[in-house]
């Protein structure tokens, strides 16, 4: 094992003991007690949904239901702030996120008590439950700014080998810097939003000049997203960064590889990454994941002291990707784990503040593509098809190098506890054909 | 002349004739009629300021005064929207920007009439005037997202020659793509905000490993910023992009060259550009600049059709940079002109939407560093000192390769009319020493 879950400098921070002994917490919402639900009482992820009246409300997933916390706040039953503040009024968790760890903890405690089996049948709460099935989920927070990292070593090695050969695969700074670039917050969408194949400047290796055409090498990137809760002022250390993080989501950073190949030197990816980035709709809180913390792998080059983790800040979250061609069954094309990352979100967030860059409530950090050591662990088609040279065969018999119109991509993820799991739901998007003309 | 101010496809779009005949428009605010003011009635730029009661109000610069438009709206004298909407209530132009070109034009017409000499002495408006001197200006709009481009050819050639030699100076895609990268909106500040020298990972060419230390090669970048007024949905063409732009400001994209050198491969600049970007406080509207339009230079490589300008979309704006060491006089270190850009803001904004990337009210586009053909036209110290090898001598006798603590940098800019100028005021910032320790 290359991983050391017990941090030697501070063994008290390792939470694996707690993890192994934490049982399923039982709820009076029966569907939350089944072993196959993503949303037991141990989870309580935060989302937003459309009510029958077409209002947007904040909700918490419990089993196959949603607890309407906007309505609960209005009814005076569950209030994270003083009575006159309506934190959930607009159906968005951003204000709550800004309130900080003490409020987050108190609210979770109240929520857990409300939904616990020990609360009896709670008939007075039943009217606040909405079935998940048939309910439209929307973005649960306002993305302030979006940064995408490149912090998976297997991914960086694979991409580097494809582009530059095995000897120069890893950029010289990679083992020292959690490499990242600023993405485009306006392009972040919630699971279920269709993704239109983009146009862009394309230039093949043998073309003299670029042409403007629909992307022919559209890809997914399997990532986790960390959501910043509280703001920074000046540089923060890794522990402070971890304390600022509100929760995690699944993230698919759709990528136009042909646009990227022509545009990215010298200032990095731009339009190749600006069509869409899809998030899973439920924010799984740091509190729910506490028992699944794990350390980053051993360092191959000693980190500068500012990046040292005071305790385990990655998580053991199993991940998978499926691809379903239009009207056909899905094939699992990759399985990996968030614990494969070389840098944690806390390290990334700390590095993000080194320049004094202010980080704000609602900032979203993409982990970077999460691949593992083996072929079946690769989190992008660029890697799975080795730059388009080795087509992938789906269970339907079809092959893929990159995405085709009508393909539906689904990311799933869960931390596996003893008799329960902390699930993330789905992060899904379907590819629509490019517009016939680039603009109206 | 390499520039062709009359567009042959549509000569009606060239506005040079209008420019040469447009006179100074006279105001009853006497200081607006002097030839040395940045803010004649022809200009009317939009800003925000702190009132004596410490409220933030929207204001319009006129001569050496500010017209308080928040108070005018409240008094029912100048209302851009229906009576019940208080567009300027929060002292921010963002809502107004979102209202679109028809509202912008009607408001400017009303404002011009109000401040015109033909309006007599207008004693009823005098209470709405605040002297600029002693009044604190603040950010006039909320920066939604910030994109910085690399669209000045002299700058790209200079930087490329310093880094890669003259033969490989220009990246292969440069003549086809308005190259840009996403910057960090949270780091954008208004003129007058001090800039703290950042810490970062630094690695000299002969160092084996990086160290974490204060930046030693802090630089300025002389740029113009274009501010997006209305939103896009899907790709827009160059004309639509131009129509979306609300106005322009001066922009200094402070850059940590040593941090940048080590971090920027392969995903572009990140922390090197995240300490601060300073804007001049007055948004000069597109309407005020209309008479100063000029075309981009002749193409060295034919552009893909989507990037073709239907008319002149650059502006003839004279620019200069001064540097004042702590407590000493300023030296002008560069003079150039916005018309040196190879791509206009409209072309950049069009390209920004090719992927379908939604552009929003308050998005800020940095032009890229504006250098000219000669040494004295270079818009960064990286160029002026040729990568630090040729120190610059200031009028005080001191030399500079990069910025030193206590230096105050000031950008100025103006479009020169016949007997008046459309000025931008100042874009200024002072360098404070790095913190002794990187974080608390």
A and B: number of Cβ contacts within 8 A: 199
Of A57, A155, A351, A352, the active-site residue reads: A155
What pLDDT shows up at residue A82?
A: 76
Per-residue pLDDT, averaged over A89-93, amounts to: 97
Q: What is the pLDDT of residues A154-195, one digit of tens each?
A: 999 999 999 999 999 999 999 999 999 999 999 999 999 999
Interface contact B437, partner A, CB < 8 A: no
Confidence of residue A121 (pLDDT cuts 50, 70, 90): confident
What pLDDT shows up at residue B395?
A: 98
What pLDDT shows up at residue B303?
A: 97
Long-range contacts of A39-43 (CB under 8 A, 24+ apart): A39/A63, A39/A64, A39/A282, A39/A423, A39/A425, A40/A420, A40/A421, A40/A422, A41/A112, A41/A115, A41/A116, A42/A288, A42/A417, A42/A420, A42/A422, A43/A284, A43/A288, A43/A422, A43/A423
Q: What is the pLDDT of residues A287-314, one digit of tens each?
A: 999 999 999 999 999 999 999 999 999 9
Cβ atoms of A430 and A47 within 8 Å: the answer is: no
Residues of B tagged active-site: 155
Confidence of residue A439 (pLDDT cuts 50, 70, 90): confident
What pLDDT shows up at residue B82?
A: 76
- Phi, psi angle pair for B46, to nearest 5°: -105, 130
For A381-420, letters b (16+ CB in 10 Å) and e give bbbbbbbbeeebebeeeeebbbbeeebbbbbbbbbebeeb
Q: What is the pLDDT of residues B32-57, one digit of tens each?
A: 999 999 999 999 999 999 999 999 99
Domains of chain B with CATH codes: 11-138 (2.30.30.230), 146-432 (3.90.850.10)
Q: What is the pLDDT of residues B62-115, one digit of tens each?
A: 999 999 999 999 999 998 887 678 999 999 999 999 999 999 999 999 999 999
Residues of B in contact with A235 (CB under 8 A): 199, 435, 438-439
- Tell me if B410 is assigned to a ligand binding site: no
Whole-number percent of chain B with pLDDT over 90: 91
| Contact at CB, B435 and A234, closer than 8 angstroms | yes
Per-residue pLDDT, averaged over A215-235, amounts to: 97
Q: Nearest-CA residue of chain B relative to A231?
A: B186
More confidently predicted of B195 and A164: B195
List the single residue in B173, B259, B356 with the smallest CB-CB distance to A262: B173
Q: Nearest-CA residue of chain B relative to A163?
A: B266
- Asked whether this complex has an ipTM greater than 0.90, the answer is yes
Q: What is the pLDDT of residues B335-370, one digit of tens each?
A: 999 999 999 999 999 999 999 999 999 999 999 999
Tell me the shortest Cα–Cα distance from A142 to chain B, in angstroms.
12
Residue B428 parent element (H or E): strand B421-432
Q: What is the pLDDT of residues B394-436, one digit of tens each?
A: 999 999 999 999 999 999 999 999 999 999 999 999 999 999 9
- Tell me if B150 is assigned to a ligand binding site: yes
Interface contact A173, partner B, CB < 8 A: yes
C-alpha dist (Å) from residue B419 to B39, B64, B108, B331: 12, 17, 21, 27
Please identify among residues 236-295 of chain A the ones whose CB lies closer than 8 Å to any CB of chain B.
236-237, 240, 256, 259, 262-272, 274-276
| Contact at CB, A201 and B176, closer than 8 angstroms | yes
């Amino acid at each position: 094992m290359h991983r050391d879950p017990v941090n030697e400098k501070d063994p008290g921070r390792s939470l694996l003991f707690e993890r192994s002994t934490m049982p399923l917490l039982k709820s009076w919402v029966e569907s939350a007690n089944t072993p196959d639900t993503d949303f037991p009482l141990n989870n309580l992820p935060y989302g937003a949904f459309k009510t029958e009246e077409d209002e947007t409300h904040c909700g918490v997933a419990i089993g196959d239901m949603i607890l309407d916390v906007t309505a609960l706040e209005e009814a005076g039953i569950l209030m994270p702030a003083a009575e006159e503040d309506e934190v959930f009024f607009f159906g968005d968790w951003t204000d709550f996120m800004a309130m900080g760890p003490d409020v987050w903890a108190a609210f979770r405690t109240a929520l857990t008590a409300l939904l616990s089996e020990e609360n009896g049948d709670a008939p007075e709460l039943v009217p606040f439950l909405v079935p998940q099935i048939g309910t439209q989920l929307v973005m649960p927070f306002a993305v302030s700014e979006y940064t995408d990292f490149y912090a998976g070593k297997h991914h960086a090695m694979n991409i580097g080998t494809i582009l530059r050969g095995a000897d120069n695969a890893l950029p010289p700074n990679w083992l020292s810097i959690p490499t990242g670039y600023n993405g485009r917050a306006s392009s972040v969408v919630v699971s279920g939003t269709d993704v239109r194949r983009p146009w862009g400047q394309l230039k093949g290796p043998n073309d003299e000049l670029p042409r403007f055409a629909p992307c022919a090498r559209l890809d997914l990137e399997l990532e986790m997203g960390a959501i910043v809760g509280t703001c920074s002022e000046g540089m923060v250390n890794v522990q402070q960064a971890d304390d600022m993080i509100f929760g995690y989501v699944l993230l698919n950073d759709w990528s136009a590889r042909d646009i990227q190949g022509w545009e990215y030197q010298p200032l990095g990816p731009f339009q190749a990454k600006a069509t869409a980035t899809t998030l899973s709709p439920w924010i799984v809180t740091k509190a729910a994941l506490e028992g699944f913390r794990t350390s980053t792998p051993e360092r191959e080059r000693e980190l500068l002291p500012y990046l040292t983790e005071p305790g385990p800040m990655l998580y053991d979250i199993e991940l998978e990707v499926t691809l379903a061609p239009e009207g056909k069954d899905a094939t699992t094309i990759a399985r990996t784990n968030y614990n494969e990352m070389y840098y944690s979100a806390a390290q990334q967030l700390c590095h993000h503040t080194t320049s004094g860059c202010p980080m704000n409530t609602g900032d979203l950090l993409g982990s970077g593509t999460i691949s593992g050591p083996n072929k079946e662990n690769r989190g992008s088609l660029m890697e799975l098809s080795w730059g388009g040279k080795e087509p992938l065969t789906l269970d339907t018999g079809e092959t893929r190098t990159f995405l085709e119109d009508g393909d539906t991509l689904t990311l799933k993820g869960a931390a596996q506890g003893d008799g329960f799991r902390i699930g993330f739901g789905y992060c899904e998007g379907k590819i629509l054909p490019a517009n016939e003309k680039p603009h109206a």
